[in-house]
């Protein structure tokens, strides 16, 4: 007999087994499909988006789907890196969106990391340009 329980102190669900040793072992976090619409629960693929499209499964909880101008937080983060080339302060919002995507969208962690890195580089360049201008080194 197997029971799955969530321990608030543990980052992952714990599988309790009723065997002679009464051991417990960790269950890995759900694996998401490439499009993020399905996750593998260990036996079958299950929808990660509610039927009405308003909620998504993050691996631990159902959260509201957040629609942004360029899709989700991961896409917004990458878009902010491009827009930041014309309006430097968008890099800060891109960093915020990248961190939100990394924590809320496990199937888009690669895109979130790309957005975080691009926006961090943009923030460093923006800071360098502002310091250079303040020091009288720029036009």
pLDDT of residue 101: 84
Return the H-helix or E-strand segment holding 16: strand 14-17
pTM of the full structure: 0.53
Greater pLDDT, 37 or 28:
37
pLDDT tens readout for residues 84-121:
888 888 888 889 888 888 887 777 888 889 999 999 99
Per-residue pLDDT reduced to its tens digit, 32-73 = 787 777 888 888 888 887 887 778 777 777 877 766 666 777
Query: Which pLDDT value is given to residue 16?
Result: 45
pLDDT of residue 117: 93
Q: For residues 78 and 118, what is the distance between their CA atoms, to the nearest angstrom?
A: 7
Taking alpha carbons only, the member of 67, 75, 122, 127 closest to residue 98 is 75
How does 76-96 read in b/e, with b if 16+ C-beta sit within 10 Å?
bbbbbbebbeeebebbebbbb
């Amino acid at each position: 007999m197997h029971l799955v329980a969530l321990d608030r102190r543990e980052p992952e669900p714990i599988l309790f087994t009723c065997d002679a040793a009464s051991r417990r072992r960790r269950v890995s976090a759900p694996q998401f499909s490439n499009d993020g619409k399905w996750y593998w629960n260990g036996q079958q693929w299950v929808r990660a988006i509610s039927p009405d499209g308003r909620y998504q499964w993050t691996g631990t909880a159902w959260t509201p789907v957040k629609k942004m101008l360029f899709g989700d937080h991961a896409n917004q983060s990458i878009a902010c890196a491009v827009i930041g080339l014309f309006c430097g302060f968008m890099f800060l919002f891109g960093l915020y969106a990248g961190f939100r995507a990394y924590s809320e969208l496990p199937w888009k962690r690669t895109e979130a990391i790309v957005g975080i890195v691009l926006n961090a580089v943009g923030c460093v360049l923006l800071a360098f340009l502002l310091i250079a201008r303040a020091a009288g080194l720029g036009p």
